[in-house]
Amino acid sequence: MAPLIEPRVLKGFRDFLPAAEIERRELTEQIETSFRSFGFVPIDTPALEYTEILLGKGGGETEKQVYRFRDHGDRDVALRFDLTVPFARFMAEHRSELPLPFKRYHIAKVWRGENTQRGRYREFTQCDFDIVGSESAGADFEILLMMRETLRSIGVGDVTIRMNHRGVFNRFLRRLGIEDKSVEILRTVDKLSKIGMESTFLQLSELIGPEKAQNVLNYIQPHNTYKETLAAITEAAGGPGPDTERLETLHRFMEDAGIADIFVLDPSITRGLDYYTGVVYETFLNDLPDIGSVCSGGRYDNLAALYSKEQLPGVGASIGLDRLIAALEALGRTKKALGYAQVAIACTDESLGGHYQRLASQLRCAGVSCEVFTEAKKITQQYALAEKKGARWVIICPEDAFTHEPLRLTLRELTSRRDTEGLAVEELIRIVKG
């Protein structure tokens, strides 16, 4: 006999046992329900793509993390590391088949060979939603509203959405004469909440000198209200422009929709990635702000520039499912369901398997999920098994149940250990459905 192979998964990868997987499925189902209520439609793309498609822009850190190899046809291929790049390729390829503005969501796994010491996983799920083919403020606002409604629907409590506009910041940098350093400055400012004010100042000073570093730090301080902050950054940027007008319009939309209180204009929000060109936003849980942004996004003016000459402006956001689950766990709001069966049918005689399943079918038809036990173990063991599987009830069929009409059954409620005898199937269904 060959020696045994040690059963194990790769570092940074995970099995999901039933309780964890049920939680994940319920969460994604709630997220999908919310997306669909806004009229967004799902797409899917391959896990594996040409490397040239995925790494078109190059990009140092990403490139190092990508799972890349040569396939059977010696093609240079890679596993997707996010859902944005495949979506850009998808839009360039299928644009003519899709009604614009196109509103899509995509919930799927992505892979990055990240350093697992930072608590990161190498396989994780993203939930992206985007509106492509619209430059309107209404599209920006819809994504903001979806972020709020979707997070609300999954029970993480109240959220605060911190937003900003890349354009205003760029105008401000231009005025200071440091526009050429904008990417580095954006990246540094983006780390503010992680590294603190002092380190940010030192890093900025190295880039642009201490005086301008102080200017930048002053700029990124939020004021008391959205309107005050907007006035301050408008002035710092040299007066109104389409960018500040967009921020103003969005604020009016929030007021008209009656949800202005959850939005904060925060000039320190920049989103490190450089493909955003308009509004950017991050979402924080009021009950758990330290966990960081659970949903982030922004506006880009040309999604598919690498693959197509046609301009495709859009706006979107992404929910990180793993961080969200970590948040729900920290808040004690996971559901910890063990299974789906409400009822288990005990097996007291293995030769009655057909009858048990016929009874179970009646329950299932009535909308009661029902597991049939197939082994005639001691009844107390069967109660224990039913409890482990999360069922609330066990049906016991008396010895002669299936030879005498009508069928009379015993129903046990597991928590109270109370038995009710002599029930007809219809009565039993009524009790179980409450």
Subset of 213-272 contacting a copy of itself (CB under 8 A): 249, 252-258
Which residues is 296 bridged to in the sheet?
Answer: 282, 318
- Identify the residue among 175, 364, 430, 433 touching a copy of itself (CB under 8 A): 364
Q: Is 174 in the site for a copy of itself (CB under 8 A)?
A: no
**DSSP code for 268:** T
Nearest 10 degrees: Cα torsion 417, 423, 429, 434: -50
* Interface characters, 180-209, with a copy of itself (x: CB under 8 A): ------------------------------
Q: Tell me which of 372, 395, 397, 401 binds a copy of itself, using CB under 8 A.
A: 372
Q: Copy the structure tokens of residue 326.
A: 């970590």
292 binds a copy of itself (CB under 8 A): no
- By the rule CB under 8 A, 136 interacts with a copy of itself: yes
Sign of CA dihedral 35, 308, 279, 85: positive
| The binder of a copy of itself chosen from 175, 336, 358, 433 (CB under 8 A) | 358
Rule CB under 8 A: say whether 385 interacts with a copy of itself.
yes
Q: Which is nearer to a copy of itself, 90 or 219 (CB)?
A: 90
What tokens does 62 get? 């990403």
Q: Do the beta carbons of residue 363 and residue 376 sit within 8 Å?
A: no
What burial class does residue 84 get, using C-beta atoms within 10 Å of its C-beta: 0-12 exposed, 13-18 middle, 19+ buried?
A: buried
210 upstream amide cis, omega within 30 of 0:
no
403 makes contact with a copy of itself (CB under 8 A): no
What does the alpha-carbon distance between residue 99 and residue 115 come to, in Å, rounded to a whole number?
41
Give ∠ CA 224-226-231 in degrees, rounded to 5.
90
- Residue of 149, 274, 301, 322 interacting with a copy of itself (CB under 8 A): 149
Q: Which is nearer to a copy of itself, 151 or 185 (CB)?
A: 151
The CA-atom distances, in angstroms, between 312 and each of 18, 92, 132, 279 are: 41, 9, 7, 16
Only one of the segments 184-192, 219-227, 319-327, 338-346 lies at the binding site for a copy of itself (rule: CB under 8 A); that segment is 338-346
Residue 388 is a binding residue for a copy of itself (CB under 8 A) = yes
The stretch among 101-109, 199-207, 267-275, 404-412 that binds a copy of itself (CB under 8 A) is 101-109
Phi and psi of 36, rounded to 5°?
A: -65, -35
**Contacting a copy of itself (CB under 8 A), which of 223, 389, 392, 408?**
389
From the list 21-29, 240-248, 284-292, 320-328, the region that binds a copy of itself by CB under 8 A is: 21-29
User: What is the distance between the alpha carbons of residues 143 and 40, in angstroms, rounded to a whole number?
Assistant: 11
Tell me the closest approach of the beta carbon of residue 400 to a copy of itself, in angstroms: 15
DSSP single-letter state for residue 242: H
- Residue window 51-90: x/- pattern of binding to a copy of itself, with contact defined by CB under 8 A: -xx--x-------xx-x-xxxxx-x-x-x---------xx
Q: How far is the CB of 335 from a copy of itself (least distance, A)?
A: 14
* Of 167-175, 273-281, 381-389, 422-430: span binding a copy of itself (CB under 8 A): 381-389
CA distance 388 to 261: 44
| Smallest gap from residue 236 Cβ to a copy of itself (A) | 26
Q: Which of 40, 263, 276, 300 binds a copy of itself (CB under 8 A)?
A: 40
**Binding window for a copy of itself (CB under 8 A); candidates: 161-169, 212-220, 236-244, 384-392:** 384-392
Which listed range, 140-148, 199-207, 208-216, 223-231, lies at the site for a copy of itself (CB under 8 A)?
A: 140-148
**Distance between CA atoms of 64 and 58, rounded to whole angstroms?**
10
What token pair was written down for 286? Answer: 């009021």
- Binding residues for a copy of itself, rule CB under 8 A, total 116
Cβ 238 to a copy of itself shortest distance, Å = 25
147 binds a copy of itself (CB under 8 A): no
The kind and range of the H/E element at 389 are: none
What one-character-per-residue DSSP string does 86-103 give? HHHHHHHHHGGGSPSSEE
Q: DSSP secondary-structure letter at 15?
A: -
Stretch that binds a copy of itself, among 167-175, 216-224, 233-241, 342-350 (CB under 8 A): 342-350
Pairing of strands 76-79, 409-413: unpaired
List the beta bridge partners of residue 264.
Answer: 162
